[in-house]
């Protein structure tokens, strides 16, 4: 029977259940050999499945609830992490977390979306969809980096900004626009990492940076595939077609020059090995910071400005070329 796109990991899960069952038996030589055999088969199956993922399946991987979120990365990457709360205007939006920490011995400022796991945490974190006060908090924290001349690390993973009435009343669009302007002017190096979903202005509001890294199975787009299908075709059954045409994968965005580097994930995705993913990501963040250390801050600001000015350039054919065609 052919599996649905949503069930593409089912063969892996079945093997993992069988492995857990065998591990519960007495550890005889025969069982140990069976365990080793199953572990190899799981690894092989993961490689085969993830080598052939389509655009919609990649979107599902980016949304996997077991993927590491900002606080998971903070646990593995940082020491002396001190969280900073509130925007000093309205409240403390827990959909965005940030603070001061040490990364590889050097001080950094870090902010990121936090989706939450389980019903209580998801409600507490508003499913990782920030309100205006979340973006104002993020900018406030980033300004610490500028004040103390330390780099900023920004972790993106959100379906988008919260579209509620209260958020609109408190200036959601203005908060995002304000961040875009102010972060572009910050006088300190900024490294942005798209770890899961990069959704619309909700992601871009903390996504201005000098180096933009993107995990292998993350997505980054102006709208979700569901939203795209609803607007273009008014037909949710075409969501897979939308995901393909939107070119939202790391590979596609790298070709367009919208990101600087693709960060490889462990076999089977970041959700199967948080610690391993953090080690890989840490190396790439360190490389990015060392590269940015070579530039005077005024040069970095200009390069940052030019970087985003080039995005979405349109080249028009002269009238005579159109006639010949």
pLDDT digits (tens, 9 = 90+) for 185-216: 999 999 999 999 999 899 999 999 999 999 99
Question: Are residues 156 and 195 in contact, defined by beta-carbon separation less than 8 angstroms?
Answer: yes
Residue 4 confidence (pLDDT): 60
Residue 93 confidence (pLDDT): 96
Low-confidence ranges of the chain (pLDDT < 70): 1-5, 314, 319-325
CATH topology of domain 60-110+127-309: 2-enoyl-CoA Hydratase; Chain A, domain 1 (3.90.226)
3-class SS of residue 198: strand
Half-sphere exposure of 313 (CA within 13 A, CB side): 10
- C-alpha to C-alpha distance for 323 and 305, rounded to whole angstroms: 36
Between helices 297-309 and 172-185, what is the axis angle to 10°?
Answer: 130
- C-alpha to C-alpha distance for 168 and 125, rounded to whole angstroms: 18
Residue 276 confidence (pLDDT): 96
Q: Tell me how far CA of residue 19 lies from CA of 12, 34, 38, 39, 40, in angstroms.
A: 10, 8, 6, 8, 11
- Tokens matching residue 176: 């995002």
Q: Would you tell me how many other CB atoms lie within 10 Å of the CB of residue 38?
A: 18
Residue 1 confidence (pLDDT): 43
- Tokens matching residue 229: 């299908």
Residue 207 confidence (pLDDT): 95
Residue 191 confidence (pLDDT): 98
pTM above 0.85, yes or no: yes
Q: Cβ neighbours of residue 59 under 8 Å, at least 6 residues apart?
A: 219, 225, 243, 248
Residue 34 confidence (pLDDT): 84
């Amino acid at each position: 029977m052919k599996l649905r796109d949503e069930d593409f990991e089912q063969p892996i899960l079945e093997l993992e259940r069988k492995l857990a069952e065998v591990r519960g038996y007495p550890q005889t030589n025969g069982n140990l050999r069976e365990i080793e055999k199953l572990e190899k088969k799981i690894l092989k199956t993961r490689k085969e499945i993830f080598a052939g993922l389509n655009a919609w399946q990649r979107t599902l991987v980016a949304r996997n609830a077991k993927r590491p979120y900002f606080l998971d990365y903070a646990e593995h990457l940082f020491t002396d992490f001190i969280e900073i709360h509130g925007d000093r205007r309205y409240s403390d939006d827990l959909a965005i977390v940030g603070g001061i920490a040490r990364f590889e011995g050097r001080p950094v400022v870090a902010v990121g979306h936090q989706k939450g796991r389980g019903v209580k945490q998801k409600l507490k974190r508003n499913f990782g969809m920030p309100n205006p006060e979340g973006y104002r908090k993020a900018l406030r924290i980033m300004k610490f980096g500028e004040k103390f001349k330390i780099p900023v690390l920004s972790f993106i993973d959100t379906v988008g900004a919260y579209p509620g009435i209260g958020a609109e009343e408190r200036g959601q669009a203005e908060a995002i626009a304000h961040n875009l302007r102010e972060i572009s002017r910050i006088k300190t190096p900024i490294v942005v990492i798209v770890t899961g979903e990069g959704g619309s202005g909700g992601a871009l509001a903390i996504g201005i940076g000098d180096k933009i890294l993107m995990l292998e199975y993350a997505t980054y787009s102006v709208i979700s595939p569901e939203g795209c299908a609803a607007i273009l075709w008014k037909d949710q059954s075409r969501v897979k077609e939308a995901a393909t045409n939107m070119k939202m994968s790391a590979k596609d965005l790298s070709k367009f020059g919208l990101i600087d580097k693709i960060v490889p994930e462990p076999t089977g995705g970041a959700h199967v090995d948080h610690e391993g993913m953090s080690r890989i990501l840490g190396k790439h963040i360190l490389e990015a910071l060392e590269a940015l250390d070579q530039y005077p801050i005024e040069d970095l600001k200009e390069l940052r400005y030019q970087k985003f000015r080039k995005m979405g350039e349109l080249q028009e054919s002269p009238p005579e070329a159109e006639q010949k065609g």
